[in-house]
A and B are shown apart, each in its own frame.
Chain A
């Protein structure tokens, strides 16, 4: 079985999550927001851990259509 990145809806209460994500950046300068995003990417990547999934996620984020 190969590991596959989830690209269908998977977040409970999506509106709540989205609001929390934006709120986390409230009051931050552009530089501080950028830094926070970079840290967030690393935290999430570590949680996923699986290299195959991470590669698929990088490709998915690049929005390159097959």
Chain B
């Protein structure tokens, strides 16, 4: 009656009977998170660090097997670092910069990500998802041990949900039978096929792509493959429309074959057939062990709204994209980053309920950006018409000889953080430049003394002043704003000036707890900044 749907890599929270199961009437919890994947656990970290009681329900007892999401972006790592889990990820992860693009059997060109200097975190790391999840669960247990009111319950499967105006009733099945709890707020982090979305009957609309991918993780016995991303269009070994080779930690390489729609999954998953593909692709004499394999299909879809009263959706349950561009888990982490502080303020009575509608507004903006980019990549990689294929091949043929065509080659536009242009929480831009730090932007990192800027901007409203006077702190509508006073003398590399001043002599930024810019001006004006705080918490 309680079979696992997948094999665990690590059992982390074995089922234990909870006192709630024997309670005479359903126990009311502040926040319940449905799903113990990376997005659910991140949600608990965000809220738990604010002291908000959060219960995670998972129908399994730990971290699922398989590398799955392997490419984590700088912004994702910055968010994980705000939660205290970013550094072990970077230590374990593989940093890569060089990408090579092949068409049939020819190398067309190579590119270097050339990450900008002066950021604590690299542009991307490759890391198997079970590691990513484990580091967050390590942090979860650490916070718990330090008294944070967070809990995860394994083999607790949500069976039914009834939404009321001021709470949600949740029916749960466990190995000891069913029980009920209540939640003031429910967050569905239960993945692309979200049972919560199904239970509540919400639509998930968009495009299904008729294609499937065979993933094979292999451990090379003689390890002379470089740490690069290799992408083949129409590989000459004839094994599908595209193939991606990417290194992960532990000398494991991910090979991702695009194998079309009409495939016999059972047949394709047989080790001998996977090896046949791999041997054709890798050539003679390459020895390897198979670590993990899987076949997956994808869709580019999202919900019409990520908030439904007391219920939120975050991560793949709210939106799903193609794998090109590493926009799945990375965007889910940005969802949590966005929702956490808003829900915290509303629960603590410091912001109106309407602030939560801006989660919908801002993250739909992000989801649409990701869906647009990943759909375009998909159309380039798998052209949908003869003419589309003709132009695609023309771009690839030209890019071998002429650099002009290379920007048109689209093997996935790698995830960059979303700027919330047009958000109702932004105040009008009173500086005009630098463009990258306009209201709505995630703050760019910069070196600062022995450390970096971003950790100093986390978790609270900050008034960042550069060469400018302002009060050390002020309070507006119960929100404490703390000044971080910097000057260009603290800026040996010039990164702060380039990223926050441009040609201005001074600047003041109001920064949200999720490190996004709410407002900026060249100098302090009390009334304007007080209004900007009210606006940023949905009171203006």
Contact = CB atoms under 8 A, between A and B. Distances in A.
B297 to A, nearest CB: 30
Interface in A28-65: 34-35, 38-39, 41-43, 46
A42 B391 contact: yes
Contact of A46 (B390, B391, B393, B405): B405
B397 interface: yes
Interface residues of B, number: 11
Contacts of B390: 34-35, 38
Contacts, number: 25
Contacts of B372: none
Nearest to B386: A34
A42 B408 contact: yes
B85 to A, nearest CB: 42
Interface in A4-47: 34-35, 38-39, 41-43, 46
Contacts of A39: 394, 397-398
Interface string B392-436: 011101100010110010000000000000000000000000000
B393 A42 contact: no
Contacts of B397: 35, 39
A33 B47 CA distance: 61
A42 B394 CA distance: 8
Contacts of A38: 390-391, 393-394
A43 B395 CA distance: 10
A40 to B, nearest CB: 9
Interface residues of A, number: 8
A43 B393 CA distance: 14
A41 B404 CA distance: 13
Contacts of A41: 391, 394
A6 B3 CA distance: 68
Contacts of A35: 390, 393-394, 397
Nearest to B408: A42
Q: Is the interface of B mostly helix, strand, loop or mixed?
A: helix
The CB with the most chain A CB atoms within 10 A, among B390, B393, B394, B398, is that of B394
A59 to B, nearest CB: 17
Contacts of A34: 390
The CB with the most chain B CB atoms within 10 A, among A39, A41, A46, is that of A39
Contacts of B405: 42, 46
A42 B404 CA distance: 9
A34 B397 CA distance: 13
Interface string B17-47: 0000000000000000000000000000000
A43 B394 CA distance: 10
Contacts of A42: 391, 394-395, 398, 405, 408
A41 B397 CA distance: 13
A38 B391 CA distance: 6
Nearest to A46: B404
Contacts of B402: 43
A38 B397 CA distance: 11
B389 to A, nearest CB: 10
Contacts of B393: 35, 38
A8 to B, nearest CB: 27
A33 B398 CA distance: 15
Contacts of A43: 398, 402, 404
Contacts of B398: 39, 42-43
A42 B398 CA distance: 9
A43 B404 CA distance: 8
Nearest to B395: A42
A35 B50 CA distance: 59
A39 B393 CA distance: 9
B376 to A, nearest CB: 16
A11 to B, nearest CB: 22
Contacts of B395: 42
Interface string B355-395: 00000000000000000000000000000000000110111
A12 B397 CA distance: 30
25 contacts: A34-B390, A35-B390, A35-B393, A35-B394, A35-B397, A38-B390, A38-B391, A38-B393, A38-B394, A39-B394, A39-B397, A39-B398, A41-B391, A41-B394, A42-B391, A42-B394, A42-B395, A42-B398, A42-B405, A42-B408, A43-B398, A43-B402, A43-B404, A46-B404, A46-B405
Interface of A: 34-35, 38-39, 41-43, 46
Given A42-B395, A43-B402, 17 more contacts: A34-B390, A35-B390, A35-B393, A35-B397, A38-B390, A38-B391, A38-B394, A39-B397, A39-B398, A41-B394, A42-B391, A42-B394, A42-B398, A42-B405, A43-B398, A43-B404, A46-B405
Q: Which 4 A-B pairs have the closest CB atoms?
A: A38-B394, A46-B404, A39-B394, A38-B390
